[in-house]
Amino acid sequence: MVRDNSPKVRNKRQLARKRTSRASYDRILIVSEGSKTEPNYFKEIRSAYRLQTANIEVRASDLGTAPIQVVQYAQSLFENGDSHKRLQKRAFERVYAVFDRDEHDSYNQALSLAKSLDKKLKNDNNQLISFNAIPSIPCFELWLLLHYEDIQAPIHRTEVLQRLKHYLPNYEKGTNNAFANTKQHLELAILRAQTLTKKFTAYTNPEPFTDIHVLVQRLTTLGK
């Protein structure tokens, strides 16, 4: 009997193997604006906490870096999957779209779209999924800086990077080991981020804000 080794059949076999390797906890899809910095950070957490790669997918937006494009790509990836990258459609319980405020015109639109999708889409188990925007004002690096400083006033992204480099001299966009280099102060950063969310919201630009801690807490407690 000749074994069918066509690309289509190989993809089906690979997807089947992936299904069997999943853990029992939530399946999470993370889509980020950045192509390296944020994906590297969340992949580090996945590795550090020994989370199954079959449960935690981390992708950069293929549609573009505007916030609305990040949310739209997260929706499309969830609904349609990606057979070329062995990603099944609707194969998650939680979807997170990670993006910065910066000067993006579509920021508020992205927040609204993400909110409209929450508890509206169903996964492959016919369950309504959690769909969340994870914004930062002004940028992702605010989250890293909170590991070292209690930021309470508006701050420009350039100053965020300058001050972060005081603590992490080798930090650059796209760097590796950002989680490893900051994790000793993780609990303090979470407390500071939570304090900001009590004072400000994702809409109160230019006041500093980040929801990265929400996703980090979800990941770091997932396997427990």
**Domain range for residue 48?**
7-220
**1 belongs to a structural domain:** no
**58 belongs to a structural domain:** yes
Cβ within 8 Å of residue 107, ≥6 positions away: 67, 99, 101, 135, 205
Average pLDDT over residues 211-223: 95
Q: Read off the pTM.
A: 0.89
Q: What is the pLDDT of residues 113-145, one digit of tens each?
A: 999 999 999 999 999 999 999 999 999 999 999
**157 belongs to a structural domain:** yes
pLDDT score, position 184 = 98
Is the model's pLDDT at 213 over the cut of 70? Answer: yes
Q: What is the pLDDT of residues 164-190, one digit of tens each?
A: 999 999 998 888 999 999 999 999 999
**What CA–CA distances, in Å, run from 24 to 20, 86, 143, 222?**
11, 20, 29, 10
Q: How many domains does the chain have?
A: 1
**193 belongs to a structural domain:** yes
